[in-house]
Structure 1
Amino acid sequence: MYGVDACPNTEEPPDLPALGTLLVDTSRNNRVGEFRGGAGCYWSLRPMGGGTEWEVEPRHVRLALPIEQLRARTARANARSRGDIL
């Protein structure tokens, strides 16, 4: 069993991306999220169209492809036009 602050992954964590970078979480059906920061051995992502942040291990994350970025930005624009809270 792991300690409270121990990371189960023994690899060195990758460098943190810039805030706002669009990433894909491969462990959650290729869900696209905006990088919000790191906490311990997890990264926080937030949907572009607004919503609840989620945490993911960096090994399950990749940069979003241009088409994935376009879809995420379109979802955000649509949410904004509907008056959704972002």
Structure 2
Amino acid sequence: MTVQDAPEVGTLAVDTRNDRLGVVMGSEGPYVQLRPPGGGIEWDVPPQSLREATTSDELRAKVREVNASRRWTR
């Protein structure tokens, strides 16, 4: 995959180097930039280490967000 073939901005993708899910924010030079779904600091991913997120990946992210919000509201 090249930067030009990267998923569209706003879609979910997985950094295969560490199985980390992120929202595609754009590209900078030879890298695609991802941000955690709940917000946070962007990180750079080489396009060859990127894959589109599956439905399972998306569900996993939503469960993490719900669990995180419950921890902070107690």
Q: TM-score, normalised by structure 1?
A: 0.68
- Which structure dedicates a bigger proportion of its chain to helix? 2
Structure 2 gaps, min length 5: none
Per the TM alignment, residue 77 of structure 1 is displaced from its structure 2 partner at its CA by 4.5
Q: Name the structure with the higher strand share.
A: 2
2:10 to 16, 20, 25: 20
C-alpha distance in structure 2 between counterparts of 1:20 and 1:62, whole Å: 14
Greater RCO (CA < 8 Å, at least 6 residues apart): 2
Question: Equivalent pairs: percent with the same residue?
Answer: 43
Q: Which amino acid aligns with 2:8?
A: A
Structure 1 position 73, deviation (Å)? 2.6
- SS for the counterpart of 1:59 is helix
Q: Gaps spanning 5+ residues in structure 1: where?
A: 1-10
Q: Match for residue 50 of structure 2?
A: 61
